[in-house]
Amino acid sequence: MNGGLTYTERMRRHFPWITLVSALLLVGMTDINFLSPENLLNLATDIVPLLVMAVGMTLVIYIGSIDLSSQSIANMATVLTTISLPALGVGSGLLVIAAGLLFGAISGVVTARLKVPSFISTLAVGGIALSVGQFASGQQALHMDAEQRKHAFGWIMGTTAGIPHELIVALAIVAVAWFIQNRMTAGRTFKAIGAAEPVVVASGIRVERYKILAFALSGMFAAIAGLMFSVRLSGGSPTLAEGFLLPAIVAVLVGGTPLTGGVGGVTNTLIGTMIVAVVRSSMLYLNIPATGQQIFFGLVLIVAIATTIDRSKLRIVK
Partner 1 sequence: MFELQNVEKRYPGVHVLKGVDLKIGDGEIIGLVGENGAGKSTLMKIIYGAVQHDAGNVLVDGVPVHFRTPRDAMQMGVGMVYQEQSLISNLTVMENIFLGFEKPFIRFGAINWKRMSEAARKQLRKVKLDINPATITSRLTFSQRQLVELAKVLALEERVDGKLVILLDEPTSVLSKDEIELLFSLVRELRRRASFIFVSHRLDEIIDLSDRIYVLKDGAVVDVISADEAQIETIQKKMVGREINREYYRENRQIPYNKDDVLLELDHVTVAGRENDVSLKLHAGEVLALVGVEGSGREPILRTIFGMRKPEKGTVSIRGMTVRSFSASQSVSHGVGYIPRERKIEGIASGMNVFENMTLSQMKNYSKGGMLDIAAERELARDWIRRLSIKVASENVDCGNLSGGNQQKVVLAKWRSGGSEIILLDHPTRGLDIGAKEDVYEMVRDMSVDGVGIILVADTLEEAIGLSHTIAVIKDGEIRKWFNCQPGAKPSLYDLIQHMV
Q: How many CB atoms lie within 10 A of CB 123?
A: 16
- Work out the angle at residue 214's Cα, subtended by the Cα atoms of residues 211 and 220, and round it to the nearest 5 degrees: 145
Options 174, 195, 212, 225; binder of partner 1; rule CB under 8 A: 195
Using CA atoms, how far residue 197 sits from 35, 113, 190, 210, in Å, is 44, 15, 9, 11
Options 93, 226, 247, 262; binder of partner 1; rule CB under 8 A: 262
Least distance to partner 1, CB of residue 10, Å: 12
Options 149, 191, 211, 232; binder of partner 1; rule CB under 8 A: 191
Q: Between 162 and 204, whose beta carbon lies closer to partner 1?
A: 204
- Work out the angle at residue 79's Cα, subtended by the Cα atoms of residues 78 and 81, and round it to the nearest 5 degrees: 65
Residues β-bridged to residue 160: 163
Q: Between 1 and 161, whose beta carbon lies closer to partner 1?
A: 1
* Contact between residue 160 and residue 169 where contact means Cβ atoms under 8 Å apart: no
Size of the site for partner 1 (CB under 8 A): 26
Least distance to partner 1, CB of residue 201, Å: 6
* Contact between residue 53 and residue 225 where contact means Cβ atoms under 8 Å apart: yes
* Contact between residue 81 and residue 224 where contact means Cβ atoms under 8 Å apart: no
Q: Is 263 in the site for partner 1 (CB under 8 A)?
A: yes
- Work out the angle at residue 60's Cα, subtended by the Cα atoms of residues 312 and 205, and round it to the nearest 5 degrees: 75
Q: Between 151 and 183, whose beta carbon lies closer to partner 1?
A: 183
Restricted to residues 45-64, the positions that interact with partner 1 (CB under 8 A) are none
Q: Between 2 and 140, whose beta carbon lies closer to partner 1?
A: 2
Q: Is 316 in the site for partner 1 (CB under 8 A)?
A: no
What is the binding site for partner 1 (CB under 8 A)?
1-5, 183-186, 188-189, 191-192, 195-196, 198-206, 262-263
